[in-house]
Amino acid sequence: MAKNLFRIFRSFQSFVSLPFTKNQVAHPCASVAFRTTFDRTMVQALASFFSPKSRDFSLPNSSWGEEMIRLYEFYNNQCEGENHGGEWRRLPSYNRSLKYASGGVYLSKIIQSKARLFTRNIREPGAAFEYVVFVSKDEQRCVCVFQSGHLLEGPPGHVHGGAIATMIDTVTGSHASILSAPVMTANLNINYRSPIPLGNTVLVESCLDKREGRKLFISCKVTSTDGSKLHTEATALFLSINVSHLLRG
């Protein structure tokens, strides 16, 4: 047993010292020689556990279609930066750890290291939720470019209503968090107007209607990218909360 652990540790040392290129990162263990499948699995798990970097899932990947990329570039070119006007800014979407776990198995550090934001819990690019969120400089408007994957099918050939609701909650919640973090959803009212074909790219847009103390009222619509078809519209109520509420459960 001690010999096996030593061999795995040596393999891990070799793994973390490799000068990876972009292509190698996609298959990080390809350049390391392993004696067994068990060795490979353990080294990959160790690498994932000890990696200090969080991955930003809102950046383009190979699954994005032409319309998704076009709209990403359109809004990204308007973001703050040396050569941009600064009307918009992109919101990164990282994998995250469980910061507020309150008991049981979730206190395990290994379990925490594997935790993911719900819409980012499918590892296969393009299989489920592919999206990027931009917020306007004055923080009154938010827009999301969303491409649905094959795992989101509900009615044959179309996106599941629950997946659409998830995206609306994600976008309006992100918007509310920019305005008054942290927040929690108090009410979400959705009207489905026309189905979204599976694989299509759509726009999910939200705007702040009003604020009343801790309450934020936000409206949202899901449309085709040219704005000619309304797929879904919704209203949401968010409450600004104290972090202690999360700790109490």
Tell me, yes or no, if 169 is annotated catalytic: yes
Identified catalytic residue from 39, 138, 169, 209: 169
Contact 223, 229 (CB under 8 A): yes
What CA–CA distance (Å, rounded) separates 128 from 57? 12
What CA–CA distance (Å, rounded) separates 144 from 71? 10
In sign, the C-alpha dihedral spanning 140, 145, 151, 154 is: positive
**What ranges in the chain are assigned the alpha helix state H?**
2-16, 22-26, 37-50, 66-76, 109-114, 161-180, 243-248
Q: Which two tokens stand for residue 161?
A: 């209503």
- Angle between helix 37-50 and 2-16 (nearest 10): 60
Burial 27-42 (b: 16+ CB within 10 A, else e): ebbeeeebeeeebbeb
What CA–CA distance (Å, rounded) separates 220 from 205? 5
Q: Which two tokens stand for residue 222?
A: 């899901």
What CA–CA distance (Å, rounded) separates 199 from 123? 17
Contact 141, 206 (CB under 8 A): yes
Catalytic residues: 169
